[in-house]
């Protein structure tokens, strides 16, 4: 015979079932991003930023708030530190939240980012978010390490732009299978 207290333990309030779905989707995609970042070799010294691509996919799918996106960025910054190949991995604590917040702001804008029936929002948000995060990262690196302006402009900035272009392609290609797998909010 069940008591009233036992009945309350299994009661689910209607409408609350998917409240934290965004956390699960983001965690799975970031885990995939970590694995890909570890195993992807550099080509000409450049590798895609799989973590940015994955959080852009997660943010596009779940349409999280800006505050939640900042949290995603902080988590991404923390998990980037041990696997980073950069000279100053702690700069990820600033650069990744910047990228995630930019992505969330772009996702919540109400402009159409389509060509015909193809939604280009994933590619565009990934490209701009990668530039925002990368620019923040290399600026911190330049200031902290007192790097010459020529290294910043001609060595580091082109790498950020190249990674942004790569991330645009990756995010666009992976978004639709991820949407079929995880579902996603329309808009």
Residue range 27-54, pLDDT digits in tens: 999 999 999 999 999 888 899 999 999 9
Query: What is the pLDDT, as a whole number, of residue 57?
Result: 95
For the segment 1-21, the average pLDDT, to the nearest whole number, is 56
Band of the pLDDT at 175, cuts 50, 70, 90?
very high
Task: For residues 118 and 120, give the distance between their C-alpha atoms in angstroms, rounded to a whole number.
Answer: 6
Q: What share of the chain is helix, strand, coil (3-state, %, to 5)?
A: 70, 5, 25
Confirm if 170 and 53 have CB atoms less than 8 A apart.
yes
Q: Span 23-36+48-182: which CATH code?
A: 1.10.1760
Residue with tokens 């015909």: 116
Query: What is the pLDDT, as a whole number, of residue 182?
Result: 81
Domain boundaries, the chain: 23-36+48-182
Query: What is the pLDDT, as a whole number, of residue 20?
Result: 81
Band of the pLDDT at 12, cuts 50, 70, 90?
very low
- The C-alpha angle with vertex 87 and arms to 82 and 103, in degrees rounded to 5, equals 70
For the segment 152-178, the average pLDDT, to the nearest whole number, is 96
Q: Is the pLDDT of residue 6 over 70?
A: no
Band of the pLDDT at 66, cuts 50, 70, 90?
very high
For the stretch 72-107, pLDDT in tens is: 999 999 999 999 888 899 999 999 999 999 999 999
């Amino acid at each position: 015979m069940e008591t009233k207290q036992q009945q309350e333990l299994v009661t689910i309030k209607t409408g609350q079932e998917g409240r934290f779905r965004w956390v699960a989707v983001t965690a799975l995609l970031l885990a995939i991003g970590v694995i890909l970042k570890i195993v992807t070799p550099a080509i000409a010294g450049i590798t895609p930023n799989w973590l940015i691509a994955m959080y852009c996919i997660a943010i596009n799918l779940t349409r999280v708030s800006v505050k939640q996106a900042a949290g995603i960025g902080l988590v991404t910054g923390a998990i980037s530190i041990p696997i980073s190949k950069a000279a100053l991995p702690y700069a990820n604590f600033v650069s990744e939240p910047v990228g995630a917040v930019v992505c969330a702001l772009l996702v919540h804008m109400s402009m159409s980012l389509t060509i015909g029936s193809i939604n280009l929002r994933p590619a565009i948000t990934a490209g701009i978010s990668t530039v925002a995060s990368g620019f923040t990262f290399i600026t911190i690196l330049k200031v902290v390490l007192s790097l010459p302006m020529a290294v910043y402009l001609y060595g580091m900035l082109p790498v950020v732009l190249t990674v942004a272009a790569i991330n645009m392609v990756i995010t666009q290609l992976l978004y639709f299978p991820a949407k079929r797998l995880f579902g996603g909010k329309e808009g």
